[in-house]
Structure 1
């Protein structure tokens, strides 16, 4: 069995990946800033060399929508090179990072390029948005004291189960790298407005939702469907399933 390092090992995706890998018998080092066993700050690299020592596979789940993912990736790549034992860096990414000009997406695309040009063995999985993200977006706009709740007009999403993504990431966490693997999308494409309505109803909030037209290049990218992968709708868990499970 391999020694596997998981960044963001206590996060939404990372914790599930850690659990699956440990259940399969691997030695897993779950990294986070608050970990007792492997306290690591990817933003400055503190503790990373010690945690990386002897690791064969790295599963990179850590991310920060506020920025800095490229800085973190630079530290991770440097530590993996210095360790000399890492044969595969498995990284999660997002469908559309190369076609939707959103700042966060552009940084994620830069991270992909950094990994592919690092000289390390690399596996990159792009997925569509998690079900949780749809819920988070709806919760955020529902806090605004506007009735009805505004959600972006015409934006479609293809949410996927984070548990299914964790299954796939654990499958890819092997010593042999696979490069850019096929994208992973959820089972259905729906508008964000439709899903927002379903989420509010499921959580007992009787608020109407209206479609708010926006502007800008990023919005246009979403309207074109750059964030979708209908040809890779391999996920099984629908948004309705997600809501039923939360209930």
Structure 2
């Protein structure tokens, strides 16, 4: 099938093309600049070139997101523009990449992702909402940014299930070939881990001089993460562990 991937230059978008092509699909990677092999230009924020990028698409893998910017404009309003621009007669499946816990964790970006899901569910399009857990590389970045000199403070009691980006990309290709679910499916890493244990493993592999200190964190967000809101309750699991990721 003809597949368009939004967010084609993002962490996941760059990895999706290979598994999709191996499955026999023709792939275009949409980004604002349209850079790289298979790249096409399309801007979800302004709507510029969207219709052109979507021309001929039988499947859309919607992986574009802007967690550090105006996510209400990029994610929510941008998805409305996407819904308006697709060829409804040609589209067979729209797979949206969301996050496990967007319906349970009180965090601004998660609220926007959940609102984006609702836009798609109300669109009448053949959709599958694929919620995944945190990528290994994202966990690395968070830990590196949290370190304060020799101390690496982490929230006490938080639990996550980090997943390999390559595993997610391969699973997306599998989901693309399935019938649209019209709802949510989940995908997570192979291990349910305490954030403090992840931090100790990361420090041992990357920053041996760092001392991990688990600290109680108050508030509703922290309570949700202690209660397992970031853990998938169903769906398939990836194979590559966080420990294997740290080993390279």
1:120 counterpart SS class? coil
Give the Cα–Cα distance (whole angstroms) in 1 for the partners of residues 186 and 88 of structure 2. 30
Greater strand fraction, Structure 1 or Structure 2: 2
For normalisation by structure 2, the TM-score amounts to 0.91
Match status 1:88 vs 2:108: no
Q: Which is further off, 186-195 or 22-31?
A: 22-31
The answer as to 2:80 corresponding to 1:74 is: yes
Distance in 2 (alpha carbons) for counterparts of 1:113 and 1:130: 24
Which of 183, 194, 206 is equivalent to 2:186?
183
- Residue 155 (str. 1) matches residue 155 (str. 2): no
**Quick one: distance in 2 between partners of 1:173 and 1:54?**
16
Distance 1:188 1:230, change over 3 A: farther
Query: 1:24-173 residue pairs with structure 2 within 5 A?
Result: 24-36=23-35, 37-66=39-68, 67=71, 68-80=74-86, 82=87, 84-142=89-147, 144-145=148-149, 147-173=150-176
| Shift in alpha-carbon separation, 1:234–1:176, aligned structure 2, 3 A | closer
Instruction: Tell me if 1:7 matches 2:6.
Output: yes
For 1:57-83, what per-residue CA distance to the aligned partner results, in whole angstroms no more than 9, with x for missing partners? 000111111223112211111111x56
**Which ranges in structure 2 are unaligned for 5 or more consecutive residues?**
none
Q: Deviations over 1:101-157 (max 9, x none)?
A: 111111111111110110111011111211112111101112x34x42111111111
List, as ranges, runs of 4+ consecutive aligned residues in structure 1 with deviation greater than 3 Å: 230-233
What RMSD, in angstroms, separates the aligned Cα atoms of the two structures?
Answer: 1.7
Moved more, 115-124 or 208-217: 208-217
1: CA distance between counterparts of 2:117 and 2:12?
18
What is the rounded CA distance, in whole Å, between the counterparts of 1:15 and 1:28 in structure 2? 11
> In the TM superposition, what whole-angstrom CA distance separates every residue of 1:141-200 from its partner, at most 9, and x where no partner exists?
12x34x421111111111111111111111122384222353112111111111112112
Identify if the C-alpha distance between structure 1 residues 232 and 3 changes in structure 2 by more than 3 Å, giving closer, same or farther: closer
1:50 match: secondary structure: helix
How much does 1:201 deviate? 1.4
**Which runs of no fewer than 5 residues in structure 1 stay unpaired?**
none
Distance in 1 (CA, whole Å) between partners of 2:172 and 2:196 is 30
